[in-house]
Structure 1
Amino acid sequence: MRPIALFAALMLAPLPAAAQNLVVERNIGATLAAEAVAAAVEACAGRGYRVAAAVVDRAGVLRALLRADGAGPHTVSSAQAKAYTAASMRTNTSQILETVRTNPGAARLPDIEGFLVLGGGLPIRAGDEVVGAIGVGGAPGGHLDDQCAEAGIARIRERLN
């Protein structure tokens, strides 16, 4: 067989290793995302806070967003940025804030485009795997945003596995 023909035959042959280049990832679905934001906004409303809540998938892409009646316009971008930050870092934004405060090596994390290092962003896990994140913005303190975000996750927790 001529070298050119052999090369062409090898290039056209199916390669079993090609399937190894596919990555299968689980992401939060639209229905669960919508339920989580509704539960978070409802939890905050029950405490008298007008907030926005956002859920993003594991890559930080928006899946659901809800702004309570009367919530400030800034709460939308705040909630989405907190969710993005939690998804990207795979941890709570309150923990990231504490790390930034106590670790000089982490001081520049807030400078990352799209990050918001304030309480209110939590990863959403199916088992140990992060499948998305929720962010809440608008309560008078990040710890209160955290509580409402936790309520959003609690509403869907049993259906995450």
Structure 2
Amino acid sequence: MVKFTTSPWPAVAGRPFRKWPVFMSVMAVFATLPVCAADLPADGIAFAPALQLAEAAIDDCQARGYPASASVVDAKGLVRVTLRGDGAVKPPVAAPIKAFTAFTFNQAGADMQAREQTDAAFRAQIAAHSDLYNDHAGSLPLRHGDALIGGLAVADVPHEIADACARAALAKYPQ
């Protein structure tokens, strides 16, 4: 037999669940806690932190007087966020490629740029896939602890500026 109740609280075994407000308060507290590694999406970085990183990078470049584009890729190398800042005149093509390259090689673009000068095999790999890889400064791998969760890149500004903007964004929102 179904027992109907006029109580606004759900019934448990036919009795009103009187602790429902306490339960909901506890759940609200847990919802505000920082994300832990077990809560990361399967594809690495979540949308909100990816957006924050890209915005922070663009804002830093804008503060330096350079309109820029920024992109974040996830742990599968797929674009999570790509933004073009106010005043940036180029379409944001280089940023996703630079972010993908930092993720793929798990190395900062500035380090890869130097590596290309001394490592002939690496230089050949980059040249053979120039449509996939861009190893210029301004890109960083994103890590959560020891896990590689994506890549961040800034583009359409001088490489040294792009590198500084990406590093400033990562310092503002450490993973």
Same fold by TM-score greater than 0.5: yes
5+ residue gaps, structure 2: 1-40
What TM-score, normalized by structure 1, do the two folds share? Answer: 0.77
Cα distance in 2, alignment partners of residues 33 and 83 from structure 1: 12
- Which of 93, 115, 126 aligns to 1:99? It is 115
Greater relative contact order, per chain length (Cα 8 Å cut-off, separation 6+): 1
Whether the 8 Å CA contact 1:59–1:88 is kept in 2: the answer is no
Q: Secondary structure at the match of 2:173?
A: helix
Q: Which has the larger radius of gyration?
A: 2
Q: Which residue of 2 aligns with 1:132?
A: 150
The size of the alignment, in residue pairs, is 133
1:50 partner amino acid? P
Whether the 8 Å CA contact 2:90–2:156 is kept in 1: the answer is no
5+ residue gaps, structure 1: 1-23
Q: What fraction of aligned residue pairs are identical, expressed as a percent?
A: 29
- Which of 56, 65, 79 aligns to 1:39? It is 56
2:90 partner amino acid? P
Q: Which residue of 2 aligns with 1:115?
A: 133
Q: CA deviation at 1:122?
A: 0.3
Cα distance in 2, alignment partners of residues 118 and 64 from structure 1: 20
What TM-score, normalized by structure 2, do the two folds share? Answer: 0.71
Q: Which residue of 2 aligns with 1:149?
A: 166
Whether the 8 Å CA contact 2:75–2:150 is kept in 1: the answer is yes
Cα distance in 2, alignment partners of residues 152 and 100 from structure 1: 25
1:138 partner amino acid? D
Give the alignment of 1:23-34 within 5 angstroms.
Answer: 25=42, 27-34=44-51
Cα distance in 2, alignment partners of residues 65 and 84 from structure 1: 12
Q: Secondary structure at the match of 1:63?
A: strand
